């Protein structure tokens, strides 16, 4: 992770959010959070333990933990864990703002692939709707900055831990670098926790893909689906290929088998 400079007590050459020097104390904070969260036996327990640990070790009183089967659907989590000033504004976020969240953008997703902890100031040229989200929601609610940690959950799921400042105490570059290390280690822990339900095939698709997939499961041809959904046959063909790829099935027959296997499992459970 880097070399310790014994004269300064800093670890240098650490990557994640740029080359940032982390001190031994920074690492102690990361390890303390990992140790605290290691007591979790389910994902729900980890969510609550992490919120407490972020407050204690990073001074973060305003936090969220969103999760979902895909990166985008995580922002629509109906039951997120929230603390501090986030809790009273959650209803407004869910009703009006989650689609415009600055971290729900393609740019944010790409940035998080390179570094699993970022601040909103690392995102340049945000879409106009995201700029409106910052100005008319976060800033209006006196939340002056936003950071996020991306966690990889079991079954390919995604966790997004939001950290918000209300007192002009932005996270430093060293904080973000430390949170990046924490994100990677917590991802390994999250993937071992029991009780995370395998998402059904519908949860892995967009609403438009679901409309088409249901027709596919009913045995309709591409031309029939095109006529029903007012799409061109070529567009239907592209949709079908994408659906099969997302669900990791090789052909229509395997997709139909998946649909009926999950239907039987739901009826038994």
Counts of helices then strands in the chain (DSSP H, E): 11, 8
Query: What does the alpha-carbon distance between residue 269 and residue 262 come to, in Å, rounded to a whole number?
Result: 10
Kindly report the pTM of this predicted structure: 0.72
pLDDT at 194: 84
Helix (H, G, I), strand (E, B) or coil at 159: strand
Query: What does the alpha-carbon distance between residue 269 and residue 266 come to, in Å, rounded to a whole number?
Result: 5
Q: Answer yes or no: are the C-beta atoms of 4 and 28 closer than 8 Å.
A: no
In this predicted structure, the answer to whether residue 188 has a pLDDT above a threshold of 60 is yes
Residue 151's closest CA among 114, 205, 188? 188
Calculate what percentage of the chain has a pLDDT beyond 90.
68
Write down the mean pLDDT value for the chain: 88
Per-residue pLDDT tens over the stretch 124-156 = 889 999 999 999 999 999 999 999 999 999 988
> How big, in percent rounded to 5, are the helix, strand and coil portions of the chain?
55, 15, 30
Helix (H, G, I), strand (E, B) or coil at 217: helix
Query: What does the alpha-carbon distance between residue 90 and residue 98 come to, in Å, rounded to a whole number?
Result: 10
Per-residue pLDDT tens over the stretch 1-49 = 333 333 334 433 333 345 688 999 999 999 999 999 999 999 999 999 9
What's the token pair of residue 197? Answer: 């339900």
pLDDT at 169: 77
Per-residue pLDDT tens over the stretch 79-121 = 999 999 999 999 999 999 999 999 999 899 999 999 999 999 9
């Amino acid at each position: 992770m880097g070399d310790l400079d014994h004269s300064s007590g800093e670890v240098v050459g650490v990557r994640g959010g740029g080359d940032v020097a982390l001190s031994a104390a920074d690492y102690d904070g990361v390890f303390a959070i990992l140790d605290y969260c290691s007591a979790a036996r389910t994902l729900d327990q980890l969510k609550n333990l992490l919120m407490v640990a972020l407050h204690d070790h990073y001074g973060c009183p305003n936090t969220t933990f969103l999760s979902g089967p895909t990166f985008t659907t995580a922002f629509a989590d109906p039951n997120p864990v929230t603390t501090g000033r986030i809790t009273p504004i959650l209803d407004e976020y869910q009703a009006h703002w989650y689609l415009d969240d600055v971290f729900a953008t393609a740019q944010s997703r790409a940035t998080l692939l390179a570094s699993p902890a970022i601040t909103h100031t690392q995102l340049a040229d945000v879409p106009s709707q995201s700029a409106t989200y910052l100005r008319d929601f976060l800033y209006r609610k006196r939340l002056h900055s936003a950071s996020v940690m991306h966690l990889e959950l079991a079954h390919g799921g995604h966790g997004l831990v939001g950290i918000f400042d209300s007192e002009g105490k932005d996270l430093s570059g060293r904080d973000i670098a430390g949170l990046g290390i924490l994100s990677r280690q917590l991802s390994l822990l999250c993937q071992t926790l029991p009780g995370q339900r395998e998402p059904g095939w519908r949860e892995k698709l967009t609403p438009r893909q679901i409309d088409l997939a249901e027709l596919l499961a009913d045995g309709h041809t591409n031309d029939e689906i095109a006529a029903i959904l007012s799409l061109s046959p070529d567009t239907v063909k592209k949709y079908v290929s994408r659906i099969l790829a997302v669900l990791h099935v090789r052909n229509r027959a395997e997709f139909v088998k998946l649909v009926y296997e999950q239907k039987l499992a739901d009826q038994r459970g």
